[in-house]
Amino acid sequence: MIVQKRTFRIPELLLQSGSVLREVQVGFETYGTLNANGTNAILVCHFFSGTSHCAGRYHEADAEPGYWDAIIGPGKAIDTSKFFVVSSDVLSNVNAKAPNVVTTGPSSINPQTGRVYGSTFPIVTIGDFVTVQKQLVDSLGIKRLHAVCGPSMGALQTLEWCVRFPDFFDRAMPVIGPGLAAEPYLISTLQQWCQPIFDDPDFQNGDYYGTGREPMKGLAQALKLITFTALHQDWANRLFGRRLADDGDPLREMNARFAIDKHLDEAGAQRAQTADANALLRIARANQLFSIEERKNNIRARFLMLPASSDLLMVPAMAQRGAEELRRLGCEVNLHFIEGHGGHLDGLNAIGQCSDAIRRFMEDAPTSARA
């Protein structure tokens, strides 16, 4: 599929913090056709460092398709000949410098001051992301969603939808998610991702725009940590072993590296070229703040939960605890493991192995959503 990034505009957006954003822009993509009743739409929510680009290509020459292209498209598990798929960027998208990201964030101009938001950009939450998505789907003429789904942070958004708009859909598919709240171990991991940015003197308390000094070293280190924690030891053993890089002898030089660290350093530096440090910090805080524990009685959906067996970030036990809580609430929950050795990223790269389970979940008639 060849797809196009479109822009949704909101004149004024009230955030959970009480702050107000004006003249908000949000990038989004759609796939397939909305039916006459406005009831065949599936919302896909993206992961921490992702965008709305979940399937297809912007141009035929693109090297890679969207992250869930294995399951979204004509004849695939989420069949776009039957369903109208919608996906939007979240506020403060990490990839603020990417050419197809137009969404409002800390590097945007504040229309009230005419200057870049920088450190004044407010804290945003998973709930704020869902508020924007609801306004978007309403604007597209969607009367009821067929399903809400997404990987990692997308799973958090899926669960937030379940408690905010429980009567607007009946299927929820959180993939590689943490259960019903960010647990302390995950909260601290997110903070460790952020620390290199805070420690970079070029961060300048978040007001680095226009100074000629961005916290690129800290941002690259943060993205290196994110990449590392999203993978698994078997990935490292298989691809690198104990091989050395080509930049010295670690027996004699402290700055000499092993091959795995050279790879991760280069990956972090490359990702930093299209990312923004302030945006990353706010996305991390949104994940830390996530919890639906006090609102879980609102949930009406039935679930297909897809943890990854080798996940070291949002470990399968988190999803299992969430599934148990949902079952105690009377929800129908089908737990299906993504098998592999790719860690958290198996929720993106190995999602195709769940195609049959996803197809059945999306196409079968509901059986026992909570009354």
What string of DSSP letters covers 18-32?
S-EEEEEEEEEEEES
pLDDT of residue 246: 84
> Quick check: is 344 catalytic?
yes
Least confident of 80-84, 333-337, 361-365: 361-365
Closest to 256 measured CA to CA, from 246, 267, 264, 269? 246
| Residue whose pair of structure tokens reads 């979240």 in the numeric block | 90
Quote the Cα angle for 258-348-306, to 5°.
120
Q: What percent of the chain has pLDDT over 90?
A: 95
Residue at a domain's end among 229, 264, 285 = 285
Residue 119 designated active-site: no
Contact yes or no for 11/4 (Cβ under 8 A): no
Q: Does 287 have pLDDT greater than 60?
A: yes
Using the 3D structure, point to which of 246, 264, 285 is the last residue of a domain: 285
Backbone angles phi, psi at 129, to 5 degrees: -60, -40
Instruction: Give the active site residue among 128, 200, 311, 346.
Output: 311
Query: By the 8 A CB rule, do 163 and 295 touch?
Result: yes
Whether 59 maps to a domain, the answer reads yes
173 and 90 housed in the same domain = yes
What local confidence, expressed as pLDDT, does residue 366 receive? 60
- Cβ 207 vs Cβ 225: under 8 Å: no
Residue 152 shares a structural domain with residue 119: yes
Q: Looking at residue 247, what is its pLDDT?
A: 77
Three-class secondary structure assignment of 81-94: CCCEEEEECCCCCC
Is 369 inside any structural domain? Answer: no
Stated length of the chain: 371
Say if 1 falls within a structural domain. Answer: no
Would 108 be classed as within a structural domain?
yes
Q: Which two tokens stand for residue 20?
A: 């107000």
Active site residue 62: no
Are 21 and 125 found together in one domain? yes
Q: How many other CB atoms are found less than 10 A from the CB of residue 98?
A: 17
Roughly what angle, to the nearest 10 degrees, separates helices 277-289 and 153-164?
Answer: 50
Whether 272 and 300 share a structural domain: no
Q: What span, in angstroms and rounded, lies between the C-alpha atoms of 312 and 330?
A: 29
Q: 308 and 279 in one domain? A: no
Q: How far apart are CA 310 and CA 139, in angstroms?
A: 39
Tell me what pLDDT residue 248 has.
Answer: 83
Please determine, for residue 236, whether its predicted confidence score (pLDDT) is greater than 60: yes
Q: Looking at the predicted structure, is the pLDDT value of residue 75 above 80?
A: yes
Instruction: Measure the CA–CA gap between 358 and 369, rounded to whole angstroms.
Output: 17
Quote the pLDDT of residue 371.
47
Average pLDDT over residues 218-236: 96
Quick one: 224 and 306 in the same domain?
no
Domain boundary pick from 244, 265, 285: 285
Residues 230 and 349 in one domain: no
Residue 230 carries which side chain, given as an amino acid letter? A
* Same domain for 234 and 303: no
- Quick one: CA torsion of 35, 38, 44, 50, rounded to 10 degrees? 90
pLDDT tens for 87-126 read 999 999 999 999 999 999 999 999 999 999 999 999 999 9
Could you give the angle at the alpha carbon of 369 between the alpha carbons of 364 and 371, nearest 5°? Answer: 150
Element (H, E) at 8: strand 6-14
Domain that holds residue 211: 186-285
Q: Residue 251: its pLDDT value, please? A: 87
Q: How far is CA 109 from the centre of its chain?
A: 24
| Residue range 143-192, pLDDT digits in tens | 999 999 999 999 999 999 999 999 999 999 999 999 999 999 999 999 99
Q: Are residues 218 and 192 in the same domain?
A: yes
How far apart CA 13 and CA 22 sit, in angstroms, is 6
We report the CATH number of the domain holding residue 305 as 3.40.50.1820
Please pick, among 88, 152, 170, 232, the residue that the annotation labels catalytic.
Answer: 152
User: What distance in Å separates the CA atoms of residue 307 and residue 338, rounded to the nearest whole number?
Assistant: 6
The answer on 302 and 199 residing in a single domain is no
Q: Kindly state whether residue 200 falls inside one of the protein's structural domains.
A: yes
CATH number at residue 240: 1.10.1740.110
- Number of domains forming the structure of the chain: 2
Q: Is residue 370 part of a domain?
A: no
Q: What is the pLDDT of residue 370?
A: 55
Lowest mean pLDDT among 44-48, 105-109, 186-190, 240-244: 240-244
Provide the mean pLDDT of the chain. Answer: 96
Average pLDDT of the residues in 342-362: 98
153 closest CA partner among 122, 186, 178: 178
- Same domain flag for 164 and 249: no
Strand partners, 8: 26
Does residue 25 share a domain with residue 61? yes
Helix (H, G, I), strand (E, B) or coil at 169: coil
Residue 369 reports pLDDT greater than 60 = no
Closest-CA residue to 154 (of 6, 290, 278, 17) = 290
Task: Out of 46, 53, 146, 344, pick the active-site residue.
Answer: 344
Q: Is residue 371 part of a domain?
A: no
What's the whole-number mean pLDDT along residues 201-228? 97
